[in-house]
Amino acid sequence: MGRYALQRLLGVIPLLFIVSVLVFLFIHLIPGDPARLIAGKDATLEEIHGIQEQLGLNLPLWKQYINYMGDLLTGNLGNSIRSGIPVTDMLESRIMPTLWLTFLSMAWALVIGLLIGVISAVYRNKWPDHLGTLTAISGMSIPGFWLGLVLIQIFSVELGWFPTGGVDSWKSYILPSITLGMGIMSMLARYSRSSMLETLREDYIRTGRAKGLREYVVISRHALRNSLIQVVTVAGLQFGFLLGGSVMVETVFSIPGLGRLLVDSILFRDYTVIQALLLLFSTQFILINLIVDLLYGVLNPKIRFSQ
Amino acid sequence: MKVKGKVWSMFMLLLITVVVTAGCGNKANNEGQGGNTAGGTETSTPTTKNDKDIVIAINSNFITLDPHNASDTHSISAARTMYEGLMGFDENMNVVPVLAASHSISEDGLVYTFNLQENVKFQDGTDFNAEAVKVNIARIQDEKNNLRLRKSFAKVAKVETPDAKTVVITLSEPYNAFLNKVAMAPIISPKALTENGADISKMPVGTGPFKFKEWVQGDRLVVEKNPDYWQKDLPKVDSITFRPVPENGSRIAMLKTGEADFIYPMPTEQVSEVEGLEGITVDTIDSTIVRYVTLNTMKKPFDDVKVRQAINYAINKEAYIKVVKSGLGAKLDSTMSSKTQYYSPQTGYDYDIEKAKQLLAEAGYPDGFETEIWGENESETMKGMQFIQQQLALVGIKVEVKSMEGGTLSDQINAAKTPEEAKIQMWYVSWSPSSGDADGATRGLFSSEMFPPAGSNTAYYKNENVDKWIAEANKAVDPEAAKSIYANIQKTVWEDAPWAFMGVDQIISGKRSNLEGVKVFPDGSINVLNAEVK
């Protein structure tokens, strides 16, 4: 498996190269001149040209690309066009809040989602199933933005239990992670329920039961483990989206994370920051996919051997 | 069924964990905050703060702390907590001396002499003196640095320092707005400039009331009391924490819970939500921000002044303030706000639908015409455009609303290199002169040299008198003369109506009632010099 992992890791490099080209081209295709946006409404043409020159934006696109790739290969992500701060500094200060938020959301969403799914499947068409379905459907349909504001109103303003935003302590992460995890929790609940139901119909489960295995063992050791494969795939993909997609939650709860940085950077066409962020998101997406693939092997050794 | 029991007990265990964790959070929080009360809507938690550390929540991040390169209002506010200039602004945007004890201007308007305050030190312990001023102006003027303030000092020919407390600045030609520009230029410690180099934008050192403590980008900027501040008994608070909180609802929640002592801006539609709550005060002042619709005067049918005037008569400005601005704003009655230098109020264009129809008929459009309006895709702007669409429909003008993202819109407008290429017809937009000066509120908008992409004259307005007056006003040495020239400009532009004159924004901020002295100036910058917790 170690060799397989290494092979896959090396495969990431050409993929990242392609991504970097696409990201560069796409960004330069968006309308909007960063120099003008940075200089402000009352800027003179001279000022705007000065900024363009300073940032190398007046060069032909292919030259800009060569400069960008040259920097990238030496590990230099450049400085933010807008603030002049090194992009690595910006990413460094913004990455932890996003990571914490994502991991926390994912953790509780996985646990609760799986629990609801398994319980729903075991008690199919009975009231726990109906309750689980209701929870999952509501969780999926509630807009995150609205949920965040409602949570703030109830738990921060009325009850005073949690801060309304910022990242001062672990308490700051509770409400945002509930908001962010709700959709995924619901989705995982639905997936694990159907996956579990499918597995419970399999012959080996019947065999297990016929052999007199205890129901607990049948469900946790055999059924759950096998239905997890589908769930892991969904969870992995969702996790990828979460990291890049926490924009809304970071805005509502004023969390200084990567999502908000991306939105701010896009508004001001801060090319260097957008490029770095998109590369980062693509890399983590690719890595998570790799991890998911490796997890398959752990969950079901048959998959590993057939590689 | 033993198995099911196990699953359930796991579930219950989790539930209990969650509840207990939340409960602990509650306790800790209450201890920290001095007791919150729970209850109905009147729960604006009257937390009394005994410490003198105040929190100000604003709507976006700071971009830079380099005071010579800041162009957004929040960065300017932040810089002003730590930096001071020779001149500054009072709360009506009048230019007042700060680090200059006094100043004089030669009769020909070319030589500005500043006498500096005694016993002022930078926060790094070095002396504030004439040499420091000279170093700063040299930095601003240096082309290599490409700083935002450079164009404001383009007319400075030389800077002399006859002694340590006197600075003499000579201009190449008279420049009426120069003092306003000096007020926009804070003085950085020369020692820090040499030592910190490019990092000065992250490590500010000035003479201001507060010292830099910490800047965690996107999360907070903390400044602390400068114990050696030169003005007696100031500042009165120990520290100020600025927090960017982009979401309007979250800022209001912070004010209610007491997590923030001051929030700005307060969204107009949410003022009613907090007004009357115990412990919270809402402040409003008129700003220098004007809202208007530019009408492309080189394009049919807007090339006819009667059409432009008809549009001004056809829009009910009072209703506009009520509907779009939730009643918080004023009718725009000139080309600039009453808080801008040399403002001169105009009369006319009162809502009169019959007059509008008559003017349209005279111009040859008795049944109106079709056109389009551009604007940004932000919700209040869209509401404004829809309001204009509805109003103009009543006189037969069919307006199509086209909202665009800021960068895209800017491209659309600046893509035209000549007036003939311009596609713009109507644009609903706002403008604020950064230093509150009349030139800043006039030249970029009405000078024929300022057609896009060179400037923001998106009405493609050209009037030879106005062009001439703009040049003259700048060179006028006597403020009274300048005032009368600007009065002429405002009157002429008002009659020519290259804009649909809409409104003046109000600046709305919210604060805990025990906080005093924090003020938002008409240009939207926050002043904390006199902040005090009572």
Tens-level pLDDT at each residue, chain B (534 residues):
444 444 444 444 444 444 334 333 333 333 333 333 333 334 444 444 446 899 999 998 888 899 998 888 899 999 999 999 999 999 988 999 999 999 999 999 999 999 999 999 999 999 999 999 999 999 999 988 888 898 899 999 999 999 999 999 999 999 988 999 999 999 999 999 999 887 888 899 999 999 999 998 888 999 999 999 999 999 999 999 999 998 888 899 999 999 999 999 988 878 888 888 889 999 999 999 999 999 999 999 999 999 999 999 999 999 999 999 989 999 999 999 999 999 999 998 999 999 999 999 999 999 999 999 999 988 889 999 999 999 999 999 999 999 998 888 988 898 888 999 999 999 999 999 878 899 999 999 999 999 998 889 999 999 999 999 999 998 888 889 999 999 999 999 999 999 999 999 999 999 999 999 999 999 899 999 999 998
User: How many Å from the N-terminal Cα to the C-terminal Cα in chain A?
Assistant: 9
A90-111: average pLDDT = 90
Report the DSSP pairing between strands B87-89 and B95-97.
Answer: antiparallel
Q: Are B522 and B337 in contact (CB under 8 A)?
A: yes
Comparing CB atoms, the residue among B25, B410, B411 nearest residue A162 is B25
- Structure tokens belonging to residue B518: 């924090």
Q: How far apart are CA A61 and CA B525, in angstroms?
A: 38
- Are B244 and A254 within 8 A, CB to CB? yes
- Structure tokens belonging to residue B272: 């009613």
- CA B231 to chain A, closest CA, distance in angstroms equals 32
- CA A191 to chain B, closest CA, distance in angstroms equals 18
Q: By the CB < 8 Å criterion, does A81 face chain B?
A: no
**pTM to 2 decimals?**
0.84
Residue of B nearest to A156 (CA): B257
Q: How far apart are CA B531 and CA B52, in angstroms?
A: 10
Comparing CB atoms, the residue among A157, A214, A264 nearest residue B43 is A157
Q: By the CB < 8 Å criterion, does B265 face chain A?
A: no
Buried/exposed B198-237: b ≥16 CB within 10 Å, e otherwise: eebbbebbbbbbbbbeebebbbbbbbbbbeebbeeebbbb
Q: How far apart are CA B460 and CA B399, in angstroms?
A: 20
Q: How far apart are CA A215 and CA A228, in angstroms?
A: 18
Q: How far apart are CA B466 and CA B460, in angstroms?
A: 13
8-state DSSP, B127 = B
Strand partners of residue B112: B105, B169
Comparing CB atoms, the residue among B26, B143, B254 nearest residue A161 is B26
E strand or H helix at A77, and its extent? none
Q: How far apart are CA B49 and CA B261, in angstroms?
A: 9
What is the total residue count of chain B? 534
Report CA-CA distances (Å) from A62 to A23, A24, B321, B333.
14, 10, 50, 51
Residue of A nearest to B144 (CA): A54
Q: How far apart are CA B234 and CA B369, in angstroms?
A: 61
- Are A260 and B202 within 8 A, CB to CB? no
Q: Are A239 and A109 in contact (CB under 8 A)?
A: no
Q: Which residues contact B458 (CB under 8 A, 6 or more apart)?
A: B294, B296, B413, B424, B427, B429, B452
E strand or H helix at B300, and its extent? none
Radius of gyration of chain A (CA): 24
- Interhelix angle A144-151/A171-200, rounded to 10 degrees, is 130
Chain A contacts of B13, Cβ < 8 Å? none
Q: Which residues contact B145 (CB under 8 A, 6 or more apart)?
A: B68, B139
User: How many Å from the N-terminal Cα to the C-terminal Cα in chain B?
Assistant: 65
Within 30-49 of B, beta carbons closer than 8 Å to A belong to 30, 33, 36-39, 43, 45
Q: Which residues contact A183 (CB under 8 A, 6 or more apart)?
A: A139, A140, A144
A297 residue type, one letter: G
- Structure tokens belonging to residue A75: 């590990």
E strand or H helix at B291, and its extent? strand B280-295
Comparing CB atoms, the residue among B3, B148, B243 nearest residue A254 is B243
